[in-house]
Amino acid sequence: MTCCASLSHRNKVATKDLQSLWLDILSVIASKVPRGQFITWFKDTAILGHEGGKLVIGLPLPVSLGWHMEHYSSLTREVAQGVDPDIQQVVYTVDTGLRDNPTRTVDLLKHFPEQKRRKLPNKQEVRLAEGLVSKILNPRYMLENFIVGSDNRLAYAACQSVSLHPGGRYNPLFLYGGVGLGKTHLLQATGNALLKLIPGATVVYVTSEDFTNQVIEAIQRQKMEQFRRRYRVVDVLIIDDVQFLANKERTQEEFFHTFNALYEERKQIILSADRPPQELQMEDRLTSRFEKGMIADIGPPDYETRLAILVEKAQEYELFIDRIVLEFIAEHAKKNVRELEGILMQVVAQYELEQRVPTVKSMAEIMCKLSKDPYAKDDVIGFSVQPKRMATFQDVMEAISRYYSVSVQDMIGASRVREILLPRQIAMYFLKKYLRISYANIGERFSGRDHTTVMNSFGKIEKMLHNDPQLLREVRALEKELDFV
Ligand code: ADP
Ligand code: MG
């Protein structure tokens, strides 16, 4: 009795010692590993044993084992030795009981709180001269972290050239392309690069709305002359989204004067819009000015570029994401780069809030959720993920069973009566067409039928759909119900 009590007491003390030893070690590791990764991989870990120079580290999940062995074992050993020179060896064991067991693990969120993130300054303004304001350029936008693909190569090359030779051949530089394709990134990156090239240069970045508001204010205060003079000291003028100047004659006129004055002095002007100059619905004299220099369009990124962007952004956000998961996102989020970023932000949230390592399945859930979000504006987040990915074998079978009032069992079974044959063939057709299950696999699920049987059923339904309007209606109704179309 006494023995056991004192043993359990000793154990408690030992656990506490091990906890504080682990905290010491983790404190050093935390300074060497990006926080996102640190929290993800070291949460719910503990030292389970420390004897004879051997440190036994418990991990909460089987997936952590590979990661630790590959990425953290030597770091952990080195750090552990630094903390306690007796430690010779670090070994790992998986103990799922560690999850949510704060008495044995270290509370990482408490001991390693997140440093308050710097607010992105891109909304803030900076005063450059009397009355002259610019949005602060976002330092995150750099030419170096812009991923170049075949659809933005020209725009990128033009920006790079301007960043080295402002006021040269590519003046003005006019970039156009759809939303979320990197126009603002390139404009600001070029501004950042120019500031580096010519420290002290007056680089003004404004949106066309800002510019319009300034014109309106100047008109109201009858300070038009002052307004004009203000812009004459600018070395580089960057105006984003000039399409909003359409139908604003007075602003266009002022812009025309500013443009000419700067252009004559060989000051660099960079513009962006969502369409080419001739489609802008602006005064011809202005659009013809825009066409004088270099015009480059940006198109939606292709698969390879999307994947490269994801890899880059994942690194920026310090996320370890399995390549298969990134490939899955790149395959499905096709519309623009902002969409890709939106999904990654969800991954960050999942990482940080739930400590969930992203998988293809969880990504599919996230993307499906976002695509169905009624508040997700289509022009900003246009998830093209197909809900059909989400329907399961069971969903298909049950929907067809309900529709034709036949049982799932009968469809799977051997009966060859027509009432069952047709629903069975439709099921096979859907499973192949929308769930992309292989013929062989479908055959197996239908009482081990041969894959050629499934193939024939698929072909038969496909053919019938061309000349059987009744069947076509039924299939369409089912497709709708299953969210396939
Ligand atoms: P736009 O101004 O064309 O609507 P943005 O420049 O705001 O688009 O781009 C949206 C987001 O996508 C930004 O965070 C930007 O950094 C990112 N982005 C776009 N294209 C690329 C690219 N090629 N490489 C890296 N990031 C990109
Ligand atoms: Mg933009």
DSSP assigned state of 387: G
- Gap from CA of 17 to ligand 1 centroid (Å): 49
**CA of 205, nearest ligand number:** 2
Sign of the dihedral defined by the CA atoms of residues 378, 379, 381, 384, in that order: positive
- Rounded Cα distance between 286 and 278, Å, is 10
pLDDT of res. 367: 78
Residue pair 458/424 in contact (Cβ under 8 Å)? The answer is no
**Ligand 1 close to Cβ of residue 330 (< 6 A):** no
Record the pTM: 0.56
Residues 6+ apart with CB under 8 A from 98: 44, 45, 46, 58, 59, 60, 104, 105
Ligand 1 centre to CA of 358 (Å) is 23
Other C-beta atoms closer than 10 Å to the C-beta of 378 total 9
**What average pLDDT is seen over the chain?**
85
Domains of the chain, CATH where assigned: 3-111 (3.30.300.180), 125-298 (3.40.50.300), 303-380 (1.10.8), 393-481 (1.10.1750.10)
Task: Give nearest CA residue, ligand 1 atom 26.
Answer: 146
pLDDT at residue 119, rounded to an integer: 41
Ligand closest to 339 (CA) is 1
Looking at the CA of residue 188, tell me the nearest atom of ligand 1: 6
Query: Confidence class of residue 372 from pLDDT cuts 50, 70 and 90?
Result: low
CB-based neighbours (< 5 A) of ligand 2, an ion: 183-184
Residue 128 binned pLDDT confidence (cut-offs 50, 70, 90) = confident
Q: What pLDDT sits at residue 191?
A: 95
Average pLDDT over residues 355-366: 77
Predicted confidence band of residue 134 (pLDDT cuts 50, 70, 90): confident
Ligand nearest to the CA of 244: 2
- Supply the pLDDT for residue 138: 87
Please list the helix, strand and coil fractions of the chain in percent, rounded to the nearest 5, in that order.
Answer: 55, 10, 30
Instruction: Show the DSSP H helices in 33-86 as ranges.
Output: 35-42, 62-67, 73-83
For ligand 1, pick from 160, 185, 329, 335 the residue to mutate: most ligand atoms within 8 Å of CB.
185
Q: How far apart are CA 243 and CA 208, in angstroms?
A: 8
Q: State whether the beta carbon of 181 lies less than 6 angstroms from ligand 1.
A: yes
- Assign residue 385 a region (left: φ > 0; alpha: ψ between -120 and 50; beta: otherwise): beta
As a whole-number percent, the residues of the chain with pLDDT over 90 amount to 45
Query: At 74, is the secondary structure helix, strand, or coil?
Result: helix
Distance 241 CA to ligand 2 centre (A): 7
Confidence band, pLDDT 50/70/90 cuts, at residue 122: very low
- Distance from the first to the final alpha carbon of the chain: 70
How far apart CA 164 and CA 143 sit, in angstroms, is 12
| Per-residue pLDDT tens over the stretch 329-350 | 888 888 889 888 888 888 777 7
Ligand 1 centroid to Cα of residue 180, in Å, is 6
List residues bridging with 269 in a β-sheet: 237
- Pairwise CA distance, residues 439 & 432, whole Å: 7
* Close Cβ partners of 422 (under 8 Å, ≥ 6 residues apart): 404, 471
Total number of residues shown for the chain: 485
Which ligand minimizes its atom distance to the CA of 141? 1
- CA 62 – CA 194 distance, rounded (Å): 50
* pLDDT (0 to 100) of residue 116: 59
